[in-house]
């Protein structure tokens, strides 16, 4: 297993997360997740279904699911889980690596949303999918949603946004790059211009995230190798991801 990367946004800059990626950004995607879980596992007993998000970060996606399911958030960064505990007091939290985490009880649905981008090798993806399979009920489902696949990736894509609270004003730019055309990686370069409004101090911070980039057939093959029947969901214009469901045979 490769060493987990240390991304500043999830550690020393984690205080920016609630401002930069607020829960409202997750509405369209969590509507789809809710729909898929309900369709696959039955609409009647929703609140009793045990649902885990691996790499749940600040719990912004779980904010929209927590009242429908019995939710658990897993993340390798306790700085991120700190936000999740404040936002979602009814969600259980486990600070652990998604490749090896275990649960006291089997889960009905395991979600790996934007955090799956941080698995950079096939071996790490397979370890995570196999571990998820071990932690599911016999009728459970796995949902994975990489932000980019080789098919959807466009090197050089860039976006700038600005967000303010009563304490902070942050302008930040995100650019995705593909330094080596022959490997399975892409880089996300982030630059934050931060003003602390109480004392007027400013700083510029930079952060580079190394992420995995794999074609759709490779995702499907890895799901099969881990014992799932892979199902590719149709893209919707509102969701920025490629969604796969891993069904158990
Ligand atoms: C984009 S953030 C997730 C945001 C989250 N979906 C939310 O709603 O707030 C990605 C998260 O993946 C976590 N992560 C990366 N690698 C991980 C691993 N191997 N195991 C568990 N968490 C991991 C990071 O710590 C980070 O919090």
The parts of the chain modelled with pLDDT lower than 70 are 43-47, 235-236
pLDDT attached to residue 3: 78
18 touches ligand 1 (CB under 6 Å): no
What pTM does this model have?
Answer: 0.96
How far apart (Å, rounded) are the C-alpha atoms in residues 7 and 2? 15
Question: pLDDT by residue (tens digit) across 103-117?
Answer: 999 999 999 999 999
209 touches ligand 1 (CB under 6 Å): no
* Residue 103, token pair as written in the block: 């649960």
- 73, 81 in Cβ contact below 8 A? yes
What's the CA-to-centroid distance between 179 and ligand 1, angstroms? 23
The closest-lying atom of ligand 1 relative to the alpha carbon of residue 77 is 25
* Residue 34, token pair as written in the block: 């809710």
Question: pLDDT by residue (tens digit) across 59-114?
Answer: 999 999 999 999 999 999 999 999 999 999 999 999 999 999 999 999 999 999 99
- 212, 185 in Cβ contact below 8 A? yes
CA torsion, points 51, 53, 58, 61, in degrees to nearest 10? -70
pLDDT attached to residue 2: 81
* Residue 21, token pair as written in the block: 């990626």
What CATH class does 8-149+214-247 carry?
alpha beta
Which architecture characterizes domain 158-212 according to CATH?
Answer: Single Sheet (2.20)
Domain edges within the chain: 8-149+214-247, 158-212
């Amino acid at each position: 297993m490769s060493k987990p990367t240390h991304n500043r946004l999830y550690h020393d800059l984690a205080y920016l997360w609630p401002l930069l990626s607020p829960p409202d950004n997750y509405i369209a995607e969590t509507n789809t997740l809710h729909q898929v879980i309900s369709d696959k596992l039955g609409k009647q007993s929703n609140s009793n279904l045990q649902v885990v998000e691996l790499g749940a970060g600040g719990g912004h996606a779980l904010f929209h699911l927590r009242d429908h399911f019995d939710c658990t958030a897993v993340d390798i960064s306790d700085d991120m889980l700190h936000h999740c505990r404040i936002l979602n007091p009814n969600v259980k939290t486990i600070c652990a690596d998604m490749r090896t985490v275990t649960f006291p009880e089997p889960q009905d649905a395991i979600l790996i949303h934007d955090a799956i981008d941080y698995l950079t090798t096939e071996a790490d993806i397979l370890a995570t999918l196999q571990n998820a399979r071990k932690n599911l009920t016999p009728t459970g489902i796995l949902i994975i949603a990489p932000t980019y696949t080789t098919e959807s990736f466009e090197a050089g894509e860039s976006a700038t946004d600005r967000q303010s609270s009563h304490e902070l004003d942050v302008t930040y730019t995100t650019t995705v790059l593909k330094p080596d055309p022959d490997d399975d990686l892409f880089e996300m370069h982030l630059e934050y211009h931060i003003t602390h409004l109480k004392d007027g101090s400013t700083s510029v911070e930079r952060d580079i995230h190394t992420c995995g980039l794999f074609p759709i057939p490779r995702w499907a093959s890895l799901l099969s190798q881990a014992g799932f029947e892979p199902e590719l969901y149709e893209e919707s214009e509102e969701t920025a991801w490629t969604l796969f469901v891993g069904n158990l045979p």
